[in-house]
Structure 1
Amino acid sequence: MVSAHVLMLPFPCQGHVIPMMELSHSLVEHGIKVTFVNTEFNHARVLQALPNKGSDLKGINLVSIPDGLRPGEDRNDLGLLIEGFTKVMPGYLEELIRENNEKGEEKIKWLIADENMGWSFAVAKKMGVRTACFWPASAACLTIMLLIPKLIEDRVLDEKGWPARDEVLQIAPKMPPIHSSQLSWNEAGDPKGQPTIFKLVTDNNKNIELAEIIVCNSFYEIESGAYTLFPKILPIGPLLPDLKFSKSLGLFWPEDTTCMKWLDKQPPKSVVYVAFGSFTIFSEAQFKELAHGLELTGRPFLWVVRPDFTTGLSKEWVDQFLEMNKEKGRIISWAPQQQVLAHESVACFMSHCGWNSTLEGLRNGLPFLCWPYFVDQFYNQSYICNVWRNGLKMEADESGIVSRARVRDKVEELIANEEIARRVQELKELAWKNLSEGGTSCENLKNFVNLMRE
């Protein structure tokens, strides 16, 4: 029996849709009806990529509203995307809630919105809907955003969010140090979009006060410093909708599940898994260096290469490379990543350090080779390399390229590091402790579900 109807609103990017879909499945398991709101552009991608026509989405209704951009406009330009959706989505969200609640069907009782969509809390309040805030990244990243007024007051930042001083910041004990030049809102692509992004961040600092509760996809032991500063942020992660990995997660690309049979044929702890998320772009030169570096390791590798991952690289070159490495290498366009990371043949994870990937690798006891691209990924790298000590940093040479020799050497250094292997196992155990009955995250999730039922 359905006990409540919840509206879910993610920021319109893949790394934000996935954890909110994971949370949606958890809510459905507890008898809560979910209406999941994507932009029209992302909604079409999700429907196209859904396996089995979405048969595993029972209890989750997928709907869409416009994002304010024209067909063909670059939705990977975060400044442009934010500028578009902040103009049009509030009106469409209000209309969606009104239409649902006037139909005589079960009324929407709660809005659970991504903190990055903080404008939606005022819309919900206007419509008599209660509000909860979901943060999909690290609690430490949110903590730094909430401290922006103090950073400006202390003259670490100027009024526009740019560094006023060149220094390494230690926000709190047990939080990674961060350089003033690598704050997430200043690492989001074209600097021309920074004013729009920074305005969204500062507006959200005010809007978050309208939410009754803030939950995040993390767990206490790995971020205790952040929770000490802001105890109102409640960890409910690492989110895991089911142990069989059978639930659809709102992916924008179809998964190539044939790689699982290939993994089955590889020796235990032998495969280098390489995946850089939904935004990372490589130059042709860097792509080739990484390819040859993987070849030099002599190890089997599974590499996720999106259709838009690089430009200027000929299909003939890739085909020739794969032919030369057909016994060892596999390139696919999108992976069933949670299944891959849980496979016994995977030895390590070469990653962009997006927060979802970070938690998934941590939960599965894998060491990391860190290769961040933008926003909070540099800070997640600091967690991995400096605080948790479960991975190594990939370093570029003076030309800005990570060479093939460096790729080979770092893979071997990582896999041979016994201290990292020990830390990896400890972190895996902590993650599963939180997922299990009586764990802090498990109990917080139960309390959150009970709140949704009120």
Structure 2
Amino acid sequence: MAAPRVLVLPYPAQGHVIPMMELSHRLVEHGVKVTFVNTELNHGLIHGALAARDGKLGGIDMASVPDGLGCGEDRKDLARLTESFSKVMPGELKKLIGGINAGERGGERIGWLIADVNMAWAFPVAKKLGLRVAGFCPSAAATFATRFKIPEMISGGVLDEEGWPRWRGTFQLAPAMPTIDTSEFSWNRAGDAKGQPIIFQLILRNNAATHLAETIVCNSIQELEPGAFTLFPSVLPIGPLSSDKPVGSFWAEDASCPAWLDAQPANSVVYVASGSFAAYDAAQLVELAEGLLLTSRPFLWVVRPGSAGEKLFEQLRRRAAPRGRMVSWCQQQRVLAHPSVACFVSHCGWNSTMEAVRSGVPLLCWPYFTDQFLNQSYVCDVWGTGLKLPLPPPPPAADGTGLVGRDIVRGKIEELLCDDEIKARALALRILARRAGGDGGSSRQNLRRFLDLVRGQGVSC
């Protein structure tokens, strides 16, 4: 039997590309041929980062389609990006699949589409072309459940028909799930309020198409989110996903981090990273730098390209030395697994959260947008593996500064590092994650079921 070939389609953002690339490596390791589809811009970024580090993707083929935006347009405006790719990408994806299966690009025909559930509009495109369909959830299962339960929240008076909360307070979808403030639903915290209707309508369209998927797999752990998986028992948790191969980073990773970490005492380093989207002004970056210095601990701080001007970056880098080290990007899984790392000051993206779980690292939570507030609730209120950083209220209630001050940064880091119970719970989750991914573990068994399905050796889940 010929090896099956699948097309993998992530939402066009770094935090979605990475786990789907990790899943793709698993597929390739088990004899599945993968064509990974990025937008043209992200395709170029990944190839540029690979070239800078002389890396290869380990057997994954790459393809690209346009997102409809022009060169230089703001792709961090999620509403604008969503509106554009929703119009352009369905037709482009159809052409790509048609060209491959007509033999224009060579190789075997594509039999499966594995798409991000945030790109479920692609499911009917694939079905019309005769492909089988699976969904991938790169977020917490609780995020998937919350979005899928929107009709019930509307009928129950939590939301209005446009997705805005009808009242202010905390909301819990089911027992054992995290509570979230009604002002912090992911679709209401994805950028400018004017763009919220576009994001909300995309979620509704994706929800309506999800039934076309034969199965949905999730980068989570059954035992980590029992409440969410009780609501959706057919969703297969296969996390935490990881890989020692390149995972589609948009920026070249600094290769000097491991050696620097090796030179630090065990359980001493404060690791700071805010993902691929979070943006802070110069004054906030200065306060963060000064707060880190006040801890008198070594720190490794990732300030990604474009998030600070060259002059400011150099000023911060010089101020951090000699105790602290600033880099523009790093191999985060390797950093978090290093024995010198004591805690992680994080934006609470789900990838980062799962990587911290996998490594047993406590978190100081600094959420920025979308699902990161729900993830913070898991960390601080459900698992007890971190602390919340007190954030200034959003405008117009802000006090005029809108800054997290240096003394707050120092105080919360010291509080976190002095809490032995938090550290013990973080280490317990590391054991849980390793059991889930080990022989006979829940995630290992679910991954095997999924692989058997894609390879034609199993039935729909």
Band of TM-score, shorter chain:
over 0.9
Task: Report the counterpart of residue 375 of structure 1 in structure 2.
Answer: 370
Task: Report the counterpart of residue 362 of structure 1 in structure 2.
Answer: 357
**Using a 3 Å threshold, how does the CA distance of structure 1 residues 109 and 314 change in structure 2: closer, same or farther?**
closer
Task: Report the counterpart of residue 385 of structure 1 in structure 2.
Answer: 380
1: distance between equivalents of 2:305 and 2:254? 13
Candidates 131, 134, 142, aligned match of 1:132? 134
Task: Report the counterpart of residue 174 of structure 1 in structure 2.
Answer: 176
1:57 Cα deviation after fit:
2.1
Deviation larger for 20-29 or 47-56: 47-56
2:348–2:367 Cα contact (<8 Å) kept: yes
1:52 Cα deviation after fit:
7.4
2:272–2:302 Cα contact (<8 Å) kept: yes
Any residues of structure 2 matched to 1:253-272 within 5 Å, and which? 253-272=251-270
2:141–2:225 Cα contact (<8 Å) kept: yes
Deviation larger for 278-287 or 12-21: 278-287
**C-alpha deviations, 1:122-152, integer Å up to 9, x for none?**
0100000000000000000000111000111
RMSD of aligned residue pairs (Cα, Å): 1.5
Any residues of structure 2 matched to 1:91-102 within 5 Å, and which? 91-102=91-102
Indicate yes or no: 2:455 matched with 1:453: yes
Any residues of structure 2 matched to 1:222-371 within 5 Å, and which? 222-241=224-243, 245=244, 247-310=245-308, 315=311, 318-371=313-366
1: distance between equivalents of 2:78 and 2:247? 22
Q: Which amino acid aligns with 2:455?
A: R
2:50–2:56 Cα contact (<8 Å) kept: no
Q: Which amino acid aligns with 2:20?
A: M
Helix, strand or coil for the counterpart of 1:330? strand
Task: Report the counterpart of residue 396 of structure 2 in structure 1.
Answer: none
Indicate yes or no: 2:422 matched with 1:420: yes
1:450 Cα deviation after fit:
0.4
**Using a 3 Å threshold, how does the CA distance of structure 1 residues 302 and 146 change in structure 2: closer, same or farther?**
same
2: distance between equivalents of 1:40 and 1:11? 13
1:233 Cα deviation after fit:
1.1
2: distance between equivalents of 1:49 and 1:430? 33
Q: Which runs of 5+ in 1 are unaligned?
A: none
1:320 Cα deviation after fit:
4.4
Task: Report the counterpart of residue 27 of structure 2 in structure 1.
Answer: 27
1: distance between equivalents of 2:316 and 2:83? 41
Q: Which amino acid aligns with 2:408?
A: R
Q: Which amino acid aligns with 1:274?
A: V
Q: Which amino acid aligns with 1:169?
A: F
1:324 Cα deviation after fit:
4.4
1:261 Cα deviation after fit:
1.2
1:396 Cα deviation after fit:
3.0
Task: Report the counterpart of residue 394 of structure 1 in structure 2.
Answer: 389
1: distance between equivalents of 2:365 and 2:263? 27
Task: Report the counterpart of residue 114 of structure 1 in structure 2.
Answer: 116
1:371–1:393 Cα contact (<8 Å) kept: yes
1: distance between equivalents of 2:414 and 2:194? 40
1:154 Cα deviation after fit:
1.1
2:238–2:444 Cα contact (<8 Å) kept: yes
2:286–2:316 Cα contact (<8 Å) kept: no
Helix, strand or coil for the counterpart of 1:252? coil
2: distance between equivalents of 1:55 and 1:303? 24
1:51–1:248 Cα contact (<8 Å) kept: no
**C-alpha deviations, 1:323-348, integer Å up to 9, x for none?**
34422011111111111111111111
2: distance between equivalents of 1:363 and 1:155? 38
2:360–2:427 Cα contact (<8 Å) kept: yes
2:168–2:182 Cα contact (<8 Å) kept: yes
1:69 Cα deviation after fit:
0.7
2: distance between equivalents of 1:43 and 1:320? 32
2: distance between equivalents of 1:105 and 1:402? 54
**Using a 3 Å threshold, how does the CA distance of structure 1 residues 323 and 57 change in structure 2: closer, same or farther?**
closer
1:51 Cα deviation after fit:
5.0
Indicate yes or no: 2:62 matched with 1:65: no
2: distance between equivalents of 1:438 and 1:404? 46
1: distance between equivalents of 2:255 and 2:422? 30
Helix, strand or coil for the counterpart of 1:94? helix
2: distance between equivalents of 1:284 and 1:321? 10
The TM-score, its normalising length taken from structure 1, stands at 0.96
Q: Which runs of 5+ in 2 are unaligned?
A: 393-398, 457-461
1:11–1:116 Cα contact (<8 Å) kept: yes
Task: Report the counterpart of residue 74 of structure 2 in structure 1.
Answer: 74
Q: Which amino acid aligns with 1:281?
A: A
Helix, strand or coil for the counterpart of 2:46? helix
Q: Which amino acid aligns with 1:307?
A: P
Deviation larger for 49-58 or 118-127: 49-58
Helix, strand or coil for the counterpart of 2:183? helix
1: distance between equivalents of 2:208 and 2:181? 25
1:56 Cα deviation after fit:
3.8
1:283 Cα deviation after fit:
1.4
1:2–1:31 Cα contact (<8 Å) kept: no
Task: Report the counterpart of residue 395 of structure 2 in structure 1.
Answer: none
Helix, strand or coil for the counterpart of 2:223? helix
Count how many residue pairs are aligned between Structure 1 and Structure 2: 447
2: distance between equivalents of 1:12 and 1:402? 30
Task: Report the counterpart of residue 154 of structure 1 in structure 2.
Answer: 156
2: distance between equivalents of 1:372 and 1:263? 26
2: distance between equivalents of 1:332 and 1:2? 44
